């Protein structure tokens, strides 16, 4: 109160002083007296007096509202700087030019001005000339997005309508990036708003903005968020343009696979040797098979038959049959029972390759291939890729046989140069089990039926709506964020894609046709061990037996021995899940192994202690050597 009183007295004194100076200045300026030669000086002094009077009158108010005045001045300066910066915004993607068309419209749309989508140029040095692949007829068009100022306006209105901003607040757009798949707008997160709140209002924002899909991710700036708005109309992406634009990766990587075209319009290419294995999921019409065909063709074009061999498992019988004539392809298998036998042969091949690596004191196939360049006595060891087009069919018919084989190959076969690509359109928990998923950290996901399917494959929700027709996300080993991409295709339609596959096949057979006859895998003859025409049904495991008809007891016991030898695991629950039989029958089989000296039974007073394995490491290795395929 005393301070307020002092301020009030000071204001009154300044006001009185102002009146006195003003009155004196008026008298000097307009008084009726003769000042002679001094009159100009007196008039100037009177004017300065009036200025001082006005200053002393306004000074208390200026001092009282000084912070509001400074804030207002700063706001004007910031707005002026923002308008200047919009003239040339630095972007990692092509700069969006403001449209000359009338921007006044009734509702927001991503589509404004047509702009050409520039395709990649150049030529990759592949085993097959890239000219064999079709290209776009001319320049495909996509629509240009709005300029940065209009995004700021439209997003501000949308945020206000969903309750993330007050009516007197506005958003600050820091960056706008565009590609053929989507537009990415980076904004400052408003004060008092959390990132989780923006993500929680994704569906409402989609409705307010009039777009089919919106993804909210962390921005590249401090306290910023990136809004990824997918285009409803996307230009077709072809494999040829991806190879031409990603030629460096294709020449550098051992097993290059095109994932797709990212948000920036650049191809996303990975090395299967680095990501180990791939799990692919997507419902019918999502683009899964379209993607799988281009991935296989890209690998076959990038590597010679001496560098790469492939086994294709196609329970649907029609998806991968077109590749059967390629010199790289050892076999296209369509029957589940033979699929299990193929996987067992690959397990045997893996074990033989490890013996060879141990012989030459190498840790992986890459070291061995470098050594072979100078030592021709080392036998050839091409990479092997096993592609399964529909995992669900195999798991329904022979889960107890298929799952352990996949587990062994995904856990150990990487160093031996054997890789798996598993695809399914039904990614439920009984198909993509925890055992399979834990050993396949790299996943490619297209549109699925339910959110549970996304969670099964990815382990979490992608946080956006996938639109189908090649719109997907990838979780690649070593990357912490999902990669949004548009899948490429071999051609723009099925007929042209099939014709291209046949043309490339003819070229490869003319150039490398001899490799099919002369080249054998280590320990596995291509035409002998993989030809089932001369086998009787009894020589192939009957994988279609149900849980109630699992064969004779000796057969179960043999399978159990192999399981224990390879896994060194004797827990009842795990064995019961593996064999698919009742717990009492598992205990009966374990008691038989106790009598044979394999196991030690739990103490009578402590049944929870479990069974103990009595075999030595040497005995286990001898059994595995004598029974390489019984797993």
Express each pLDDT in 417-474 by its tens digit.
Answer: 999 999 998 888 888 888 888 888 899 999 998 888 888 888 887 877 788 888 899 9
Query: Comparing 317 with 109, which gets the higher pLDDT?
Result: 317
Predicted pLDDT of residue 291: 93
Phi-psi region of 75 (alpha: psi -120 to 50; beta: other; left: phi over 0): alpha
> Token digits for 505?
């096949």
Predicted pLDDT of residue 34: 62
For helices 391-412 and 336-359, the axis angle rounded to 10 degrees is 10
Share of the chain above pLDDT 90, in %: 16
Predicted pLDDT of residue 531: 40
Predicted pLDDT of residue 210: 84
End-to-end CA distance of the chain: 91
Per-residue pLDDT tens digits for 502-518: 999 888 888 876 445 44
Beta-carbon count within 10 A of 242 CB = 28
Which of helix, strand or coil describes residue 520?
coil
Rounded CA-CA distance 481/199 in Å is 16
Tell whether the model's pLDDT for residue 172 goes beyond 80: yes
Q: What is the mean pLDDT of residues 34-52?
A: 69
Beta-carbon count within 10 A of 354 CB = 14
CA 612 to chain centre: 44
Per-residue pLDDT tens digits for 103-114: 333 333 333 333
Counted residue by residue, the chain has a size of 631
> Token digits for 64?
């009282």
Cα dist from 314 to 54, 386, 390, 394, whole Å: 92, 11, 7, 10
Produce one character per residue of 523-542: b if its CB has 16 or more CB atoms within 10 Å, e if not: bbebeebbebeeeeeeeebe
Predicted pLDDT of residue 566: 81
211, 205 in Cβ contact below 8 A?
no
> Token digits for 521?
């895998």
176, 86 in Cβ contact below 8 A?
no
Tell whether the model's pLDDT for residue 287 goes beyond 70: yes
Q: Which of the four pLDDT bands, split at 50, 70 and 90, describes residue 128?
A: confident
270, 435 in Cβ contact below 8 A?
no
Q: Exposed, middle or buried: residue 463 (CB in 10 Å: 0-12, 13-18, 19+)?
A: middle
> Token digits for 74?
């700063």
Q: Which of the four pLDDT bands, split at 50, 70 and 90, describes residue 311?
A: very high
Beta-carbon count within 10 A of 13 CB = 11
Secondary-structure percent of the chain, ordered helix, strand, coil, rounded to 5: 45, 15, 40
Rounded CA-CA distance 162/118 in Å is 37
Q: Which of the four pLDDT bands, split at 50, 70 and 90, describes residue 528?
A: very low
Per-residue pLDDT tens digits for 334-390: 887 788 889 999 999 999 999 999 988 888 898 988 888 888 788 888 999 999 988
Phi-psi region of 476 (alpha: psi -120 to 50; beta: other; left: phi over 0): beta
For helices 202-209 and 148-161, the axis angle rounded to 10 degrees is 120
Rounded CA-CA distance 501/294 in Å is 10
């Amino acid at each position: 109160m005393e301070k307020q009183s002092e301020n009030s007295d000071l204001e009154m004194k300044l006001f009185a002083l102002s009146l006195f100076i003003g009155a004196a200045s008026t008298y000097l300026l307009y008084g009726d007296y003769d000042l002679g030669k001094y009159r100009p000086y007196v008039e100037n002094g009177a004017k300065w007096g009036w200025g001082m009077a006005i200053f002393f009158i306004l000074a208390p108010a200026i001092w009282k509202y000084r912070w509001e005045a400074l804030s207002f001045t700063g706001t004007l300066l910031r707005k002026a700087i923002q308008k200047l910066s919009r003239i040339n915004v630095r972007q990692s993607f092509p700069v969006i030019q403001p449209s000359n068309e009338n921007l006044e419209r009734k509702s927001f749309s991503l589509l404004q001005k047509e702009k050409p989508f520039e395709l990649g140029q150049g030529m990759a040095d592949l085993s097959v000339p890239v000219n064999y692949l079709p290209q776009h007829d001319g320049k495909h068009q996509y629509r240009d997005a709005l300029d940065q100022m209009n995004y700021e306006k439209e997003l501000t209105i949308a945020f206000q309508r969903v309750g993330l901003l007050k009516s007197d607040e506005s958003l600050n757009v820091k960056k706008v990036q565009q590609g053929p798949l989507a537009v990415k707008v980076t904004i400052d997160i408003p004060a008092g708003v959390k990132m989780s709140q923006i993500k929680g209002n994704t569906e409402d924002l989609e409705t307010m903005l009039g777009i089919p899909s919106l993804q909210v991710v962390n921005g590249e700036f401090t306290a910023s968020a990136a809004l990824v708005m997918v285009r409803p109309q996307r230009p077709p992406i072809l494999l040829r343009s991806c190879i031409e634009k990603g030629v460096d990766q294709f020449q550098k990587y051992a097993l290059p696979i095109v994932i797709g075209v990212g948000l920036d319009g650049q191809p996303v290419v990975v090395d299967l040797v680095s990501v180990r294995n791939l799990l692919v999921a997507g419902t019918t019409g999502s683009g899964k098979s379209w993607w799988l065909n281009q991935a296989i063709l890209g690998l076959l074009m990038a590597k010679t038959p001496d560098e790469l061999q492939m086994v294709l498992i196609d329970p649907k019988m029609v998806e991968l049959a077109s590749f059967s004539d390629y010199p790289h392809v050892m076999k296209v298998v369509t029957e589940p029972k033979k699929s299990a036998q193929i996987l067992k042969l690959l397990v045997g091949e893996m074990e033989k390759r490890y013996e060879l690596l141990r012989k030459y004191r190498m840790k992986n196939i890459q070291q061995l291939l470098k050594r072979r360049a100078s030592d021709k006595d080392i036998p050839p060891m091409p990479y092997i890729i096993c592609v399964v087009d529909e995992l669900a069919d195999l798991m329904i018919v022979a889960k107890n046989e298929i799952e352990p084989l996949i587990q062994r190959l995904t856990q150990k076969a990487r160093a031996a140069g054997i890789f798996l690509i598993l695809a399914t359109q039904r990614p439920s928990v009984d198909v993509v089990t925890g055992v399979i998923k834990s050993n396949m950290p790299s996943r490619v996901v297209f549109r699925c039926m339910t959110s549970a399917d996304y969670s099964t494959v990815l382990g979490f929700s992608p946080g956006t709506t996938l639109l189908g027709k090649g719109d997907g996300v990838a979780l690649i080993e070593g990357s912490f964020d999902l990669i949004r991409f548009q899948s490429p295709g071999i051609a723009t339609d099925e007929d042209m894609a099939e014709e291209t596959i046949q043309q490339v096949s003819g070229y490869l057979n003319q150039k490398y046709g001899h490799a099919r006859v002369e080249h054998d895998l280590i320990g596995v003859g291509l035409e002998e061990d993989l030809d089932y025409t001369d086998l009787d049904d009894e020589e192939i495991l009957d994988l279609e037996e149900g849980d109630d008809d699992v064969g004779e007891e000796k057969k179960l016991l043999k399978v159990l021995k192999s399981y224990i030898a390879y896994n060194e695991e004797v827990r009842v629950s795990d064995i019961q899940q593996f064999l698919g039989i009742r717990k009492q029958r598992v205990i009966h089989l374990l008691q038989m192994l106790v009598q044979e000296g394999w196991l030690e039974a739990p103490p009578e007073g402590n049944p929870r202690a479990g069974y103990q394995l009595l075999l030595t490491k040497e005995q286990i290795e001898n059994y595995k050597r004598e029974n390489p395929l019984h797993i």
